[in-house]
Structure 1
């Protein structure tokens, strides 16, 4: 077993497999949050950004995976883009601020369209992969940091109810694995956002220790709100 992992290529393949599986598990944690929306018939004070940025991040990484011909990236982000699209639909069904949400989705679709058109028009594949990789880095960091938008609310209420704990917890382990995988590949576009994502996830996890979630908070059902 030790001799098997002594080969960098075998270690890279093993980490790629593990990272793919754990990332899919991370994506599936969004279903727990959506189930809570359905149960309460409201998204409450939670932000759509984790889902919206997740959809954008997976879509861009999927395009990047095709550009560099990396099967692990293609597989995991195909699944991720599909799941986050479902989560966004669920959020839209139970949020009262539909207009703002649609504006965010429109921006996401615009960026996805740009990445596809640019990578097809640009004749230099290396140049195209660098630009799309840079976009992936930026959006990836934003995806992991998006729950921090509610940081002020958490501190003021001393309650982490609005933070998506399942996503944050799994993000910590997933980003750590992808960072190591990116290191073995020698791909800085994979290393940088996942290193920062691991740090940001760790910071957010400490908030759950300092300010435990209070289950007695109740949200108004969508049907009870007057428009």
Structure 2
């Protein structure tokens, strides 16, 4: 009975989500007809597309078993939202198009630079830099700093803000590396041998760490 209800509500969720994704059609018919986005915002469609892509990935059988219905509807949603984003970019005024693309790029850049935060937490917890590559941290800092200065000189906040965040996060990684570089692998081994274990939610999905020959 539980499996039946799970399937039924999955189908119902697919149907309602499809109507949700199709509901802006009226808005985009107006945009195409008037050849202008007027004061409509394109950011929700961009964010929805990103959400759909990630959700579709999550629902794949080798990631999350018994969630195929999540992948089917979100894969469809990603395609629909991509069409909306394309239409918006075609008919958006130059200034609005720049704002739309700039905000979206800034958000994605900040997310990219923030992705090592889980590893930084792991470094602090284990007092080891074994799983935080030095070269990656170094070039995160150098890349973020370079583009931060570039954005400052060009008076472009969409380049300055996310890369400023990247520069700060890169610097934090290098500081952690300087503090714990001599403990490379040792503290993590001690943590495991003392009976302390690392929870899987402390690291990124699909990462497997081995301590003392055992999988955590």
TM normalised by structure 2 equals: 0.47
TM normalised by structure 1 equals: 0.45
Bigger relative CO (Cα 8 Å, ≥ 6 apart): 1
More helix by share: 1
Which of the two has higher C-alpha Rg? 2
